[in-house]
Each structure stands twice: as C-alpha cells, then as structure tokens.
Chains A and B, each alone.
Chain A
Amino acid sequence: MDMKVAAKKLGLKERYAAMTRGLDWETTYQPMDTVYPYDKFEGIKIHDWDKWEDPFRLTMDAYWKYQAEKERKLYAILDAFNQNNGHLGVTDARYINALKLFLTAVTPLEYMAHRGFAHVGRQLRGAGARVACQMQALDELRHAQTQIHSLSNYNKHYNGFHDWRHMHDRIWYLSVPKSFFDDAVTAGPFEYMVAIGFSFEYVLTNLLFVPFISGAAYNGDMGAMAFGFSAQSDEARHMTLGLEMIKFMLEQDPANLPIVQGWIDKWTWRGVRMLTIVGMMMDYMLPKRVMSWKEAWEIYFEESGGALFKDLARYGITIPKCVAQATIEKEHITHQAWTTFYQYGAAAAFNTWIPEKEELDWLSEKYPNTFDKYYRPRLEYLGEQAKQGKRFYSTTLPMLCQCCQIPMFFTEPDDPTKICYRESDHNGEKYHFCSDHCKEIFDHEPEKYVQAWMPVHQIYQGNCFKPDVDPTAEGFDPLAAVLDWYNIQFGRDNLDFEGSEDQKNFDTWRQTAKSNG
C-alpha cells in the first residue's frame, strides 16, 4: 500500500509524451478529416505520427520560467541603453539605416511567422508537431515585439522608422520580403514547414541573423544586439523543429521525397533572392563590417549548408541546383543591389550614400575578381557626380521580377555586363523574371504567382495614390503622390545620407554629449 513504491517515475521522454501527445485523441463525433482539413491536399503521406521525435522537450511551466528570465534581462538592458542615449554610441549614423531596413523588412515577417505557426500548430495532425509549432508561434510574437521595443527609441530620434507597418505593405522593395512570407503562409502546412521551418530557419538563418546581430555588436548597438542574443536559444529550438520536420516527412514515405525536394529547391532560391538585401546591408551599410556577403555565403552556405545536405543525402535529398548560380552571384549581387538602391534613393525610406574611399578599398580586397572590374568605377563615377552637385536620382520605375519582386538588375550568370531577362506566357499575358529559377517557380504554379501585388504595376494602375488625389490635375507629380501614399516624408526619410537630418542630428547630439561631459 505504500504509494511511494507504487508510483514509479516515468522517464523524461515518457513524461513529456504524457504531457503532450497523450492529451490527443481520435475524434469520433466529428471526422478527423474535418477536424484537420488542411494536412492532406499537398500529397504528403504520413502513416504514423507516433514516430515523430520531439525535437525539444519543454513543458509550459519550464517555458514560462526560462522565457520570463530572458525577458527580464533583455528589457533591463534596453532600458539602460535608452536611458543612457546609447544610440549616440554607434559607430556612425549611417549604421542606423540598417536598422530601418530591419524594422520595415524583417519585423513584419516575425509577426507573419507568429500567425503562420499558429495556423500550422492547429492543423498538423500529429500532437507532438503541433505543440512544437505552437511554441514557435509564441516565440515569433516575442521576436516581433522585442524588435519593435528595441527600435522604438531609435524611432523617437531618427527618421525612416515612423510607419514601418504601413510601409511594409506598400513600398516597392518591401514587397520582396512581404511576398516571400505571403507565399509561405498561403502554401499548405507542410510546404510552410519546409519554407520557414527548414529552408529559412535552418539553412539560411545564419545568413540573416549573423549579419544583423553581429553587425549590431560590431557597431556599438547594444539594443539590437540584446534582442538578437536573447532570441538565440529560441532560434536553436526552431532549427531543430525544422530539421525534424524534414526528416520525419522523408522517413514516413518514399513518395514524399520528390515533393520535399521541390520545396527545398524553391525555398532555397526564394530565400537566397531575399537575402540579397541583407548582403547589401553587410557590404554597404555597416560602417564597421563583420564580414563580406561573399565570405558569409562561403561559411554559412557552402560549408555548413554543404555538410547539412550531405547529411540529408541518405534520404535521397540533393543540394538545390540553384546553389550553383547563387555561388557565382555571391561576387556580384550586393554591388548591383546597392547601386540600384542608390539610384532609387528618392523612393526608399532610408538614406543611401557612396562608400568612402577606405570602404571601397575594403570591397576591392573582399571581391578581387569583380569589384574593381565592374562596380568600383560606377560607384566612383556616381560619387564624383554627387560631389559636383549632380547627385543622381532615377525617376523612372523599374521592371520587377514576377516571382521574387526584385527589380531586374541581376546579370546573366555567365556575363556580368548583361541584365538577365526571362519571360513566360500565361493566359495570353507575359510575365518577366530575373532568373531561370524564378521563372521555374512561376511555371510550376502560375495561378499563384499571377496574383502577386506588383508594386510597379499597381502604381501604373493608379492604386498607389491617396484617395483624394486627382491624377488628371495640372502639374500632377505621380512620384510625389506615390511617396505621399507610402508615407515617406520627402527630404527626411529618403535621399542621400550626406546632408540628411539624421546625419546632422546625430553629429549635434554627439557633440553635445562630448562637450558637456
């Protein structure tokens, strides 16, 4: 009758199973296919969800305890950083433009990930996978909010941050990240897991995370650094979830392999294209650079990614074929992107500039095969023009790729002097692409990609003006009307860094800080 003897302790694994999948049951008053209506149409075959290996075992009480501890520390650092005007300690005010790009481009994606994982965390039929996804849904809300809170104080003192949500849904280059995530969320739950859980969180996460967060650390931004470091252990959980999902699908049925391979190919390319903007930030926007985009690609994709794909080879997974092109392009894309943003600097919600000589030298050294040959002369020419008071701003609208939505500035893989154009016909309409891989993605699902909200098309269709605007009025300036609709404050959010309000304020404030002691 001794209870202590009778109640044998469960092992950790059994105990966690009792705390999660043991809660689940086969419904009978409603058919299982009605309770879980979305997890079959993609064609992924799952025979036994009990084979799911929980990638981490965290009960809610432990979750609350650990996460609250992290939140306490993070907000203490933020409060101290803000109170002490920590923003004046960054390397120079150009750095702050990287944060503007982060808040307008990345933070809304964290929020989308939150909702996306809530959806998948409701819809997957396996209880173990559902719990892990729900926890990630909660984490992603954390990431969105800690980023907003970290950058809130920058918004009080600098331009370009003030309407990030509104801008994300409207501005031309921000449709690149927005369409990326919209694409993932509108796919089925398994594709979402490959797109976000695996390709983005596992394969490419270091290429996003390391540049921004190490960039913050290198440039004296303790605020942004703190949220990044605080998110690290969450990210580690997310990575194991993504990898477990891939392995689970591949182990469940051999027929899943071609579907999964197709998704890995697609999402690696979608991710790589989107990371062009991150690479540009690394090479051009950080006053103190962490490493070049090319180096990051070599370390985090060619080496780590190569090892990962070797590991997956036993399931029949091969390295995505787009990697060959991305490897050629690692020497080009950041320069092409920055030159484009520089020229469209009137229509961007951050400041642009020509790198200083010492920075051009750094780029020459990091890109010995391409920079001096193709890009340095252009940048020097543009810089020279600016010095003569002829800062160049393009006032035309660029053609965008129907898939990745990046302006068509990428060059042919075998000819860096020639812009790469591809096109497809669908229902009598022509669609344009930046690359074979973007075209292939479109050709596979044209009904999806024809729906894209293309920023330039929308401008031409007159959908990007405020409701009270009359485009037929005399002297109507369409570009100004579009910027007004974007809520870009002309002369404050946009244009060259040289002479910008941010530059002046930063210098004045820092001077005050130094001289008053």
Chain B
Amino acid sequence: MHIDLRTVSIKPLRQTFDNVAARLGTNKPASRYQEGTLDLQADVNFHYRPLWDSAHEIFDASRTAIKMRDWYSFKDPRQFYYGTYTLARARMQEKVEGDFELVEERGLLENYPAAAKKLALEVMLPLRHVEWGANMNNASICAYGYGTAITQPCIFQAMDHLGMAQYLTRIGLLLADETELEAAKTAWLQDAKWQELRRYVEDTLVVKDWFELFIAQNLVLDGLLYPFIYEQLDQVLAAQAGPVMSMLTRFQSEWFTETRKWVDASVKTAASESPENQAILSQWTLSYRDRALTALTPLVNYALGENAPAVLDALLEEFNMRATKAGLKL
C-alpha cells in the first residue's frame, strides 16, 4: 500500500529540542526515547518545599548518598518510554494469555500431581506479597528519585510487579480457589519459613535512600529470588509435573531476563561514576545480599530439600558474578 504523499521539500529549522541537541550534538535527529526522557524532570526554581519533607526540594539529588555529575548518564538499554513499554508488555501478556487459555480449556491442571500442586501453592502464592512490596518500592524510587532517566523505568518496574502479583493470583485461582490465597497470606504473616523474607521486605519499605532501595530490591532481592523460583523451582515442578507451570510463569521468567539488563546497566553507570559511588553501592549490595540469602534459605530448603545447599551456592555464585560484572567489588 503506497500513500501518495505530496513531497514538499521543506528544510527544518532544527532537528530536536535544545536540551536534547546539547547532549547529542546539533543537527542530529533524536529518538522518541531521547525526546521523551532527557531533562524531563524540573531541576531548578521550585516554589515551595514539601510539607511532608521540608528538608528537601520537590526533586532533590541529596535524597541519596550516590552522586552523579549528570543524572541523565543513566540509559535504559531497552529504550523504554511509555509507548515502547506498553507495546513490549502487551506482546508478553498476549502470549501468557494464550497459555492461560490453553491450560484452562484443556484442563491441563486437572491432573496436576498433588505433591507438585502443594509445593507450587505453598512456595509461589505467598510471593504475591513479595511482588506487592516490590511494587511499593519502585513507586517510591519513581517518586523520590532524581532524573527521568532512572525514575521512568521504575514506574514501569512498579507496574510490572503489580502485574506479576496478579498473574500469581490467577495461578492460585486456577490451581485452587480463594481459600488458598487466604492460606498463603496467613503463611506469609505467620509461617516461620516466610518470616525472614517478610522482615526483609518490610525493612525495605522504610528505606529512605532511594538508590539503596534500588539495590535492595531490584538488584539483590529480585536477583536472588527470580532465579530461585523461575529457574530452580521451575525445574523441580517440571520434572514432577510437566511444563504447565513453566507456561503459566513465562511472563516472570522473560521479564527477569529483560529487566536485569537495565538493572545492571544502571548499577554500572552509577558505580563507574566514582570510587565513592562504587564503595557505597558495593557495601549496600553485600549487606543486602547476605540478608536476602538468610531470608531465602528456609524457602530454598523447603522447596529443594537435599539439593538446597548446592542451589544456594549456585545462586550466590551467579549473583556475585553478575554484581562484579556490573562494576561492584564484593
């Protein structure tokens, strides 16, 4: 199909906005990611201080110990702005929707073995609440962070975690019914094996330094939890009960593969800025890593039994490699 355009030759006066041109060099066309991201946040001449935080300006770089000469050094390797973000997620959700439909139509969960079902319900359903904590934490980073380049992907991350909490809820409703959701919540609140993780999540909810929160949530907790659940546990369930659960959790596993690239790129940018940043980030990572391992150990033990020590070692090793590659010194 050819649209018959009138080809009027017009020489544009400029290629993009001044702030974008100042970063790219003049007469270079800018992408929609760049025009929709660079310098989008106000940075000067705020009128009033927040009644809820009078020690800071509305947007204030001193809300974190991390220091950057230019907060737009952060780049999202996915180049997500709202449009590309929703298109990417719509594609993922379409596939998942197809999987859920197939599982429901063919009754693929009807003969799901009892032991695997129990394991899936007990380990995966309380994670709804972990996702919810991750949603809150990323909303926080988006609200109090500095510079659209890093705050924008955090609202995407927040909504992704809400979406994943909802997918887990759907799995619970497919496998059983809402009483299992209640049981999982009770376990989350009371069962001993969940308490260290719940403590970790609640402790992050009150972290004031938003970059520290980024490390605690997006690098450390996600970085240890997702490989455990969506790789290790997934393999166990697949061995016992076939690939149905892998289908129902493909969003999470694809999501982790995609988002870790952005998380790593962000950590790397901040760490390579200065030795001071590198030291702070490394220290945060170490201390949260150890706490997260403590929090996950009872769950790994419960889910993986005698394989647990080996899996914990492997998770730790993989995480350390990843952190080192992102420029941290552990």
Contact = CB atoms under 8 A, between A and B. Distances in A.
Given A68-B87, A157-B13, A168 B205 contact: no
Interface in A82-134: 83-85, 88, 108, 111-112, 114-115, 118-119, 121-122, 130-131, 134
A152 B51 contact: no
Interface string A428-468: 00000000000000000000110111000010000000000
A12 interface: no
B143 to A, nearest CB: 4
Given A122-B143, A149-B35, A71 B19 contact: no
A75 B83 CA distance: 9
A289 to B, nearest CB: 28
B140 A61 contact: no
- Chain A contact residues (Cβ within 8 angstroms of B): what range? 35 or more
Most central of B45, B152, B205, B206 by chain A CB within 10 Å: B45
A83 B5 contact: yes
A19 B173 CA distance: 11
B110 interface: yes
A68 to B, nearest CB: 3
B110 A4 contact: yes
A15 B166 CA distance: 10
A24 B130 CA distance: 10
B49 to A, nearest CB: 6
Contact of A144 (B40, B91, B109, B181): B40
A151 to B, nearest CB: 10
Contacts of A146: 82-83
A288 interface: no
Interface stretch (A25-33, A254-262, A410-418): A25-33
A488 to B, nearest CB: 12
B144 to A, nearest CB: 7
Contacts of A155: 14, 16-17
A134 B162 contact: yes
Interface of A is mostly: helix
B274 interface: no
A500 interface: no
B36 A131 contact: no
A205 interface: no
Interface in A57-92: 59-61, 63-65, 67-69, 71-72, 74-75, 80, 83-85, 88
B110 A170 contact: no
B82 A111 contact: no
Contact of B12 (A8, A135, A156): A156
A185 B50 contact: yes
A451 B17 contact: no
Interface of B is mostly: helix
B206 A35 contact: yes
A60 B203 CA distance: 26
Contacts of A37: 52
A293 to B, nearest CB: 26
A22 B177 contact: no
B202 A28 contact: yes
Interface string B25-44: 00000001001100111111
Interface string B252-270: 0000000000000000000
B74 interface: no
A453 B46 contact: yes
Given A119-B144, A131-B162, A178 B47 contact: yes
A15 B170 CA distance: 9
Most central of A24, A25, A449 by chain B CB within 10 Å: A25
Given A29-B198, A29-B199, A158-B13, A182 B159 contact: no
A509 B42 contact: no
Given A131-B162, A186-B58, A27 B18 contact: no
A23 B45 CA distance: 39
14 contacts: A18-B173, A34-B206, A35-B205, A67-B86, A83-B5, A118-B155, A144-B36, A145-B36, A145-B82, A149-B32, A163-B19, A169-B43, A169-B44, A452-B47
Interface of B: 3, 5-6, 8-10, 12-19, 32, 35-36, 39-52, 58-59, 81-83, 86-87, 89-94, 96-97, 107, 109-110, 128-129, 131-132, 135-136, 139-140, 142-144, 148, 151-152, 155-156, 158-160, 162-163, 165-167, 169, 173-174, 176-178, 181, 185, 188-189, 198-199, 202-203, 205-206
Interface of A: 3-4, 6-8, 10, 14-15, 18-19, 22-25, 27-30, 34-35, 37-38, 41, 59-61, 63-65, 67-69, 71-72, 74-75, 80, 83-85, 88, 108, 111-112, 114-115, 118-119, 121-122, 130-131, 134-135, 137-138, 141-142, 144-146, 148-149, 152, 155-159, 161-166, 168-170, 175, 178-179, 182-183, 185-189, 448-449, 451-453, 458, 487, 505, 509, 512-513, 516-517
Pairs of residues from A and B, 10 with the lowest C-beta to C-beta distance, nearest first: A68-B90, A60-B163, A119-B143, A156-B12, A23-B132, A145-B36, A122-B139, A182-B47, A118-B143, A64-B89
